[in-house]
Structure formats: C-alpha cells, structure tokens
Amino acid sequence: MPVKKYRKIPVTIEAIQYTGPEDTETVQEITDWTTQGFYVLDKSTHRLAGYDEAVTAEVWDYLHQTWVGVKTGDYIIKGQLGEFYPHDEKLWPNAYEEVN
C-alpha cells in the first residue's frame, strides 16, 4: 500500500498555563478544572519520584491512567476525550493560537 499524506484536522482546545507552585490562585484553578487531578509536588515527593528539578507538579491523565510531570510554565491541555496533559511553553506559540 502506498504512503499517503494526511493533514491534522484543526481542533479547539482548552488550556491553562501553570505559573508555578507559588501561584496558589492558579494552582487552585487548575486543581478545580482537572477535577482534583492535579497537585504540586513537595520537596520530599519530588526527590522520591525521580523527576528532574524542573518538574514541580503532576496532572492525572486518565486516558493513559498515569500521573504526568508538569514544569513551571507548561500549559495544561484538556484533550478531545477529556484527558489532561502538559505542553511545553517554548513550543506553545508554534502549535497554538488564541481563539476569541
């Protein structure tokens, strides 16, 4: 069968930027939005989890049934099936534009 080319169908998503553990208002907003599937790592948990130092929180991705590390500055995306996952802020402008 020959190789074919495909174009990704445009999809509008919801997202919130995680601005760090010190921004308690945004942390609470993300926690409420993800239905309690988000938490900030404390220092002891952070070391035990074996994450790199940039990861300061986790979000529950129920689609894949796993916790995913989130870095300060990452955008948390709500996917098409209601799953949540982080997206690197450096790549954000190349992938998404704000919709009014």
Q: What is the DSSP string of 25-80?
A: HHHHHHHHHTTS-EEEPPHHHHHHHT--TTEEEEEEETTTTEEEEEETTPEEEE-T
Q: Is residue 63 part of a domain?
A: yes
Say whether pLDDT at 48 is over 70.
Answer: no
What integer pLDDT is reported at residue 28 of this predicted model?
94
Q: Provide the residue range defining the domain that includes 84.
A: 14-95
Asked if residue 64 belongs to a domain, the reply is yes
Mean pLDDT, to the nearest integer, of 70-91? 93
Average pLDDT score, the chain: 88
The structural domain count of the chain equals 1
Average of per-residue pLDDT across 72-89: 93
CB 68 within 8 A of CB 59: yes
pTM of the prediction?
A: 0.82
User: Taking residues 74-90, what's their average pLDDT?
Assistant: 92
Q: Is 26 inside any structural domain?
A: yes
- Provide the percentage of residues in the chain whose pLDDT is more than 90: 50
